[in-house]
């Protein structure tokens, strides 16, 4: 590993790197826990697999895969928590996917929790009831459902929406298949976290906190899996952070898809504070009591728990993932930020305290106890690799920013363009006789202008220019009438040539009416009479009927006849 | 869905047995939003390819009914610059869910990006009905009105937005509208509030600093620019502005180190190379100055300020023919500036084209309002040509300007100019009181020792005839320095014999004189440049 050898003063030891681990996951689907109660912490990971297949729940132990089991659907979140006080105190694994939370104990399926169905729209139910008894035909059903859709507070169920999308001939059969079923509205889980029940201890029993697609936050009882509390958000939650204890006081911080962060407290059904971010949140971490949020506009922002902005850090690259670094032995907490430039930055408040360069873009990151090592950093990469690093026991993070001081660019020399010896000589020459130079220049300039003016006058006088000077017949020699809208009429085209050299089939044309913007090819055939291989000029005139001065003149420099050249 | 359940690897009894009656008559309809979270994750990770695949799958599965998938697809289209397509998709979204203000907001946003501001306003008003207290709607309405040039309405909406929720962007736009209306004071008020609200926003700090710079409140300008640089040491605008202020104070080396940062990030910035060039000029590295200015000129061939500086440097280098070209080019781009004509006249004087020089001076005098140098130089030319009356007239003009300047500001005059003015005054035998009180007042501020000693030395000879001769010859000698002080070199046909011995001396003198005096116009350049940056 070239990187580590370069960074001898790095705070991290490279424990393991497997670029072919074939893992595809996010930070929300990684957890570290002592699953078997043997004092050795394992890595639990919900692998999203490839293209929605081969979703697996993988458990790593040391550097190897300890077990894996197939998941039925893509995991949205994976977390571990203690369900009860039973000995041995082994945590359960909760995998949220779709509308379900699958609970595993000892890595065996233990329970499946399903989100309670949502209330269906009563109007919709009535309508389907009527359809069931064949009181209305599919078309009426469609109209009524559309009416409900446009006004209803409660959105329509999947079935109605599907029905509305059907073509008319298929409606009948669709109704027949589905009308027997009761109307159901189901939602899915978007994020999940845990909340201690009534004790702050490390190994206290925890509740699951679930964010759903219909913008609710649910808190579940750890044993009975009943809903202990339900709160409603204005938008769909994307990231959750929970602190406190359920029975005492807690605070749920939710980053939502509308780019806002809402802060909920115990006993509040609605958000208490709101932070408008102006960009999509990509990660949410709480450090002590402050909220640190990474945004898609490449910033890291710190807020108090009441939503007051504290600081902003501009990141060098787009953010991929974020997590908390909690070095418990030293009571040090920092935010780890994985970025698209293959770097992981660690921020203590707004100060950058460490940088890790990785071999690939990090997509998920997790810090905690792994195996028997307390401070282990687990990362998975975009290419499916797994990186495990261990924080050196001697490592101490400085509290101050390592990137302070003048920017690197300040020490780069300016690239001032060099001047040659010739330049200096010319400068000296100019210094010696500026007056003469100036006068010569001015005189030449005058001459140039005079010559240009003369040539112009001459061209105008002899109508040599390719554009006519009279306004009546704006023509170019290539027979384009350039006037805006007026056609040219009564024009003649005549050719003048040496009769001893060339013979022309037709040396005189009467041009048709020339409409602006169109091409009128007027062709004639020229025969070369001489066999000496010489060429001459043929002059072409455009004349107005009854006038002797041409409007346009063109000189065609004839090439040497090809037949002769070949002979 | 069913296959993995059947696999032996995961015997999931609960899932397969009880809950889902999947294989019954009615097929289970997939939940429309089932992959929304994944689409969202891909979207925020900017993994648009994966995002598109997920969207495609979900839309296929739901026959295009999934609102969020369409929404994100539209967002991606917009990012890819396909604004019309994105607009259509957002409209689809608002049909799928007419109650969602977000959809309408995005429709309006796309209309806004397409430049259909009026249509956008209508849609935003529609969205405002669904969501009364939305900062974003108010802000964007303000933006629309701004582009429609209804500044009052725009300000109303932006102020509303600020009342709902304070955002840096809204402050920025409000300030911009005030600037568009030419109300710099109000703009400064707005930016001040903004900086109070968000003290670490470098854009706000820089803008405020530049505005102060434009108004000439250097202390505050430097404070804000300095703050901006503390938070973002590589802020391009702030560095340029702060650098130009350092140049004004003669800290050329510090300014150059700061410019290095900009040269790294923005190597093709014409103002940067102009300022670097003038730094070298200040350090008397004329060749480097010329090459930097020429690069600036190459990057921005139509910028008259760069041409002006090039002309100035060439005058200093006594390359009058080249200076003439640069200055006349500058005049072609900026025909309304007296100082340009003055410099051109200086060049022409040195090219021994007195007639055109005079005409150029006349133009300069006609255009210039407040620069006494113009009249002084003209006076010297007229005097050297023997037109004492004209010279006297110009001298009085200069005095008027000087006194006006003194009243308006406590600006220090360039000691060289004061000095030369005294000599000319002496040579022209202007009324003593008038002439001598002014320069001594000047010298009070800055150049007490030198100027006063000189004035006293010339004061005595004025009385007697014999002394007059002295004064005359000295004036002739100083006549050169006058022109030098504005960046010109030896010319005066009058003083042939003394000019020879004077020459080496002059050569050594030219350096300091030119730099001190020429930094003056150069500074002014900077300020103008700054003002332009602010309006950018």
Sequential DSSP letters for B154-222: HHHHHHHHHHH---HHHHHHHHHHHHHTT-HHHHHHHHHHHHHH-TT-HHHHHHHHHHHHHHT-HHHHH
| Whether B9 and A309 lie within 8 Å, measured CB to CB | no
| Whether B264 and A412 lie within 8 Å, measured CB to CB | yes
pLDDT tens track for A351-383 = 888 888 888 899 999 999 888 888 899 999 988
Element (H, E) at A111: strand A108-114
pLDDT tens track for A403-453 = 656 666 677 777 787 888 898 888 888 888 888 888 899 999 999 999 999
Distance CA A398, CA A384 (A): 32
- Render the burial of B315-351: b for 16+ CB within 10 Å, e for the rest: bbbbbbbbbbbbbbbbbeeeeebbbbbbbbbbbbbbb
Which chain B residues are Cβ-neighbours of A186 within 8 angstroms? Answer: 31
- Render the burial of B2-19: b for 16+ CB within 10 Å, e for the rest: eebeeeeebebebbeeee
Outline where A361-433 has alpha helix (H). 421-432
Distance CA A313, CA A298 (A): 9
Which chain A residues are Cβ-neighbours of B295 within 8 angstroms? Answer: 417
| Whether B1 and A109 lie within 8 Å, measured CB to CB | no
The tokens of A108 are what? 């065996």
Residue A528 DSSP code: E
Distance of alpha carbon B468 from its chain centroid, rounded?
A: 50
| Whether A257 and B40 lie within 8 Å, measured CB to CB | yes
Q: For chain A, give me the number of helices (H) and strands (E)?
A: 8, 34
Which chain B residues are Cβ-neighbours of A72 within 8 angstroms? Answer: 1, 4-5, 10, 12, 15
C-alpha dihedral (B19, B23, B24, B25), degrees to nearest 10: 140
Q: What is chain A's mean pLDDT, rounded?
A: 82
Identify the residue among A27, A30, A116, A257 best suited for mutation to test binding to B, counting B beta carbons within 10 A and taking the highest. Answer: A257
Element (H, E) at A230: strand A227-232
- Spatial strand order of the sheet with A491-496 comes to A508-511, A491-496, A537-544, A552-557
pLDDT tens track for A329-338 = 888 889 999 9
Residue B441 is predicted with a pLDDT of 36
| Whether B9 and A410 lie within 8 Å, measured CB to CB | no
- Cα–Cα nearest to A306, from A289, A285, A318, A328: A289
Residue B466 is predicted with a pLDDT of 30
Is residue A73 within 8 Å of residue B31, measured between CB atoms?
no
- Which one has a higher pLDDT value, A346 or B434? A346
CA-nearest residue to B13 within chain A is A109
Is residue A381 within 8 Å of residue A338, measured between CB atoms?
no
Which chain A residues are Cβ-neighbours of B19 within 8 angstroms? Answer: 112, 114
Identify the residue among A382, A434, A435 best suited for mutation to test binding to B, counting B beta carbons within 10 A and taking the highest. Answer: A434
Listed in sequence order, the residues at least 6 apart from A307 whose beta carbon sits closer than 8 Å to its beta carbon are A261, A263, A273, A274, A275
How far off is chain B from A519, nearest CA to CA, in Å?
A: 38
Residue A323 is predicted with a pLDDT of 92
Question: 């060099």: which residue's tokens?
Answer: A418
| Whether A213 and B36 lie within 8 Å, measured CB to CB | yes
Which chain B residues are Cβ-neighbours of A26 within 8 angstroms? Answer: 41
Identify the residue among A438, A443, A445 best suited for mutation to test binding to B, counting B beta carbons within 10 A and taking the highest. Answer: A438
Q: Average pLDDT in the A485-493 region?
A: 71
Q: Average pLDDT in the A337-341 region?
A: 91
CA-nearest residue to B30 within chain A is A158
Give just the sign of the alpha carbon dihedral B523, B529, B535, B536.
negative
Residue A16 DSSP code: E
Distance CA B125, CA B60 (A): 34
How far off is chain A from B3, nearest CA to CA, in Å?
A: 9
| Whether B276 and A188 lie within 8 Å, measured CB to CB | no
* Secondary structure E strands in A234-328: 237-245, 249-256, 260-265, 273-276, 281-287, 290-295, 299-303, 309-314, 319-327
CA-nearest residue to B3 within chain A is A72
How far off is chain A from B288, nearest CA to CA, in Å?
A: 7
Which chain A residues are Cβ-neighbours of B257 within 8 angstroms? Answer: 410
- Which one has a higher pLDDT value, B451 or A225? A225
Residue A23 is predicted with a pLDDT of 86
Which chain A residues are Cβ-neighbours of B30 within 8 angstroms? Answer: 158
| Whether B260 and A74 lie within 8 Å, measured CB to CB | no
Distance CA A455, CA A457 (A): 5
Of B169, B264, B321, the CB nearest to A434: B321
Of A48, A213, A430, the CB nearest to B319: A430
Residue B409 is predicted with a pLDDT of 66
Is the previous residue joined to A88 through a cis bond, with omega within 30 degrees of 0? yes
- Which one has a higher pLDDT value, B451 or A526? A526
| Whether B10 and A411 lie within 8 Å, measured CB to CB | no
Of A72, A76, A276, the CB nearest to B135: A276
3-state secondary structure A320-377: EEEEEEEEHHHCEEEEEEEECCCEEEEEECCEEEEEEECCCCEEEEEEEEEECEEEEE
CA-nearest residue to B288 within chain A is A416
| Whether A409 and B97 lie within 8 Å, measured CB to CB | no
Q: Residue B422, Cβ neighbours under 10 Å: how many? A: 24
In a 3-state reduction of DSSP, which class is residue A64?
A: strand
How far off is chain B from A357, nearest CA to CA, in Å?
A: 19
| Whether B288 and A416 lie within 8 Å, measured CB to CB | yes
- Render the burial of A97-123: b for 16+ CB within 10 Å, e for the rest: bbbbbbbbbebebeebbebeebebbeb
| Whether A258 and B1 lie within 8 Å, measured CB to CB | no
Identify the residue among A176, A284, A417, A429 best suited for mutation to test binding to B, counting B beta carbons within 10 A and taking the highest. Answer: A417
How far off is chain A from B443, nearest CA to CA, in Å?
A: 35
CA-nearest residue to A319 within chain B is B45
* Nearest-10 crossing angle of helices B304-316, B286-299: 160
Which residues of chain B are modeled with pLDDT < 70? 1-28, 409-412, 430-536
| Whether B294 and A417 lie within 8 Å, measured CB to CB | yes
| Whether A109 and B10 lie within 8 Å, measured CB to CB | yes
Least confident of A79-93, A134-148, A342-356, A428-442: A134-148
Is residue A19 within 8 Å of residue A383, measured between CB atoms?
yes
Residue A5 has pLDDT above 80, yes or no: no
């Amino acid at each position: 590993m070239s990187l580590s050898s370069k960074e001898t003063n790095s705070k991290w030891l490279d424990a393991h790197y497997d670029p072919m681990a074939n893992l595809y996951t996010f930070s929300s689907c990684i957890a570290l826990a002592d699953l078997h109660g043997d004092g050795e912490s394992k890595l639990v990971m919900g692998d999203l697999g490839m293209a929605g297949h081969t979703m697996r729940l993988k458990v790593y132990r040391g550097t190897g895969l300890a077990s894996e089991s197939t998941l039925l659907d893509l995991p949205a979140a994976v977390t571990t928590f203690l369900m009860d006080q039973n000995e041995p105190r082994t945590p359960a694994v909760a995998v949220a996917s779709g509308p379900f939370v699958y609970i595993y104990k000892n890595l065996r399926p233990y329970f499946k929790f399903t989100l309670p169905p949502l209330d269906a729209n009563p109007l919709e139910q009535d309508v389907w009831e009527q359809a069931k008894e064949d009181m209305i035909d599919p078309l009426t059903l469609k109209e009524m459902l559309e009416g409900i859709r446009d006004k209803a507070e409660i959105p329509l169920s999947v079935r109605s929406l599907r029905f509305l999308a059907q073509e008319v001939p298929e409606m009948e059969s669709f109704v027949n298949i589905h009308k027997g079923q009761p109307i159901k509205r189901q939602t899915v889980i978007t994020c999940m976290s845990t909340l201690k029940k009534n004790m702050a201890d490390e190994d206290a029993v925890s509740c699951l906190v679930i964010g759903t697609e219909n913008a609710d936050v649910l808190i579940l009882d750890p044993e009975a899996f009943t809903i202990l509390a339900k709160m409603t958000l204005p938008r769909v939650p994307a990231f959750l952070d929970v602190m406190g204890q359920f029975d005492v006081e807690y605070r749920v911080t939710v980053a939502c898809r509308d780019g806002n962060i809402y802060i909920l407290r115990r006993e509040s059904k609605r958000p208490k504070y709101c932070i408008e971010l102006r960009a999509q949140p990509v990660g949410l971490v709480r450090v002590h009591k402050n909220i640190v949020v990474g945004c898609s506009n490449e910033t890291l922002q710190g807020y108090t728990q009441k939503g007051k902005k504290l600081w902003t850090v501009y990141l060098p690259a787009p953010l991929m993932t974020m997590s908390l670094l909690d070095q418990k032995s030293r009571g040090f907490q920092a935010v780890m930020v994985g970025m698209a430039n293959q770097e992981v930055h660690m921020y203590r408040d707004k100060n950058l305290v460490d940088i890790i360069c990785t071999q690939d873009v990090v997509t998920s990151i997790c810090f905690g106890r792994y195996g028997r090592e307390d401070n282990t950093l687990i990362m998975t990469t975009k290419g499916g690799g797994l990186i495990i690093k261990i924080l050196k026991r001697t490592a101490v993070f400085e509290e101050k920013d390592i990137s302070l001081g003048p920017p690197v660019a300040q020490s780069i020399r300016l690239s001032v363009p060099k001047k040659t010896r010739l330049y200096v000589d010319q400068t000296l020459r100019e210094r010696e006789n500026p007056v003469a130079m100036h006068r010569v220049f001015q005189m030449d300039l005058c001459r140039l202008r005079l010559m240009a003016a003369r040539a112009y006058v001459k061209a105008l006088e002899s109508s040599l220019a390719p554009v006519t000077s009279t306004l009546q017949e704006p023509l170019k020699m290539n027979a384009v009438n350039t006037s805006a809208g007026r056609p040219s009429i009564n024009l003649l085209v005549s050719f003048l040539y040496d009769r001893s050299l060339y013979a022309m089939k037709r040396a005189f044309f009467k041009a048709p009416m020339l409409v602006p913007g169109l091409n009128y090819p007027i062709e004639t055939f020229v025969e070369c009479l001489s066999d000496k291989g010489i060429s001459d000029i043929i002059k072409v005139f455009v004349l107005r009927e009854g006038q002797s001065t041409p409007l346009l003149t063109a000189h065609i420099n004839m090439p040497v006849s090809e037949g002769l050249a070949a002979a | 869905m069913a296959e993995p359940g059947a696999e032996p690897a995961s015997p999931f009894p609960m899932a397969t047995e009880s809950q889902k009656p999947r294989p019954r008559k009615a097929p289970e309809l997939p939940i429309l939003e089932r992959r929304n979270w994944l689409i969202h994750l891909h979207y925020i990770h900017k993994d648009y390819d994966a995002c598109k695949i997920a969207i495609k799958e979900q839309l296929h599965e739901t026959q295009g009914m999934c609102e969020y998938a369409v929404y994100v697809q539209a967002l991606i289209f917009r990012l890819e610059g396909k604004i019309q397509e994105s607009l259509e998709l957002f409209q689809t979204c608002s049909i799928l869910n007419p109650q969602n203000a977000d959809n309408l907001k995005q429709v309006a946003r796309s209309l806004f990006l397409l430049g259909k501001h009026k249509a956008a306003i209508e849609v935003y008003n529609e969205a405002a009905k669904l969501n009364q207290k939305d900062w974003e709607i108010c802000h964007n309405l303000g933006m629309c009105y701004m582009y429609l040039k209804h500044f009052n309405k725009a300000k109303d909406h932006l102020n509303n937005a600020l009342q709902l929720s304070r955002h840096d962007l809204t402050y920025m736009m409000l300030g911009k509208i005030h600037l568009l209306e030419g109300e710099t004071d109000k703009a400064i008020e707005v930016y001040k509030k903004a900086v109070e609200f968000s003290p670490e926003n470098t854009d706000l700090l820089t803008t405020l600093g530049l505005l102060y710079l434009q108004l000439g409140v250097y202390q505050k300008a430097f404070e804000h620019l300095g703050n901006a640089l503390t938070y973002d040491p590589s802020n391009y605008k702030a560095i340029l502005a702060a650098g130009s202020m350092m140049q004004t104070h003669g800290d050329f080396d510090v300014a150059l180190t700061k410019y290095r940062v900009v040269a790294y990030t923005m190597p093709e910035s014409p103002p940067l190379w102009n300022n670097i060039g003038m730094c070298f000029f200040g350090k008397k590295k004329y060749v480097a100055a010329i090459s930097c200015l020429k690069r600036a000129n190459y990057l921005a061939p139509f910028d008259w300020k760069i041409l002006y500086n090039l002309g100035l440097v060439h005058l200093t280098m006594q390359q009058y023919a080249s200076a003439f070209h640069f200055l006349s080019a500058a005049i072609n781009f900026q025909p309304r500036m007296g100082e340009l004509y003055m410099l051109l006249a200086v060049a022409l004087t040195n090219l021994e084209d007195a007639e055109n020089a005079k005409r150029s001076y006349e133009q300069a005098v006609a255009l210039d309002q407040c620069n006494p140098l113009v009249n002084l130089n003209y006076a010297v030319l007229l005097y050297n040509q023997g037109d004492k009356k004209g010279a006297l007239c110009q001298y009085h003009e200069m005095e008027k300007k000087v006194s006006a300047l003194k009243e308006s500001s406590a600006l220090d005059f360039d000691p060289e100019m004061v000095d030369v003015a005294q000599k000319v005054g002496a040579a022209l035998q202007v009324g003593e009181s008038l002439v001598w009180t002014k320069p001594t007042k000047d010298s009070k501020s800055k150049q007490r020792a030198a100027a006063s000693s000189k004035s006293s030395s010339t004061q005595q000879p004025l009385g007697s005839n014999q002394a007059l001769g002295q004064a005359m010859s000295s004036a002739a000698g100083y006549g050169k320095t006058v022109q030098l002080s504005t960046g010109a070199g030896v010319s005066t046909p009058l003083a042939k014999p003394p000019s020879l011995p004077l020459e080496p001396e002059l050569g050594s003198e030219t350096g300091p004189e030119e730099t001190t005096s020429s930094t003056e116009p150069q500074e002014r350049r900077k300020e103008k440049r700054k003002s332009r940056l602010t309006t950018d």
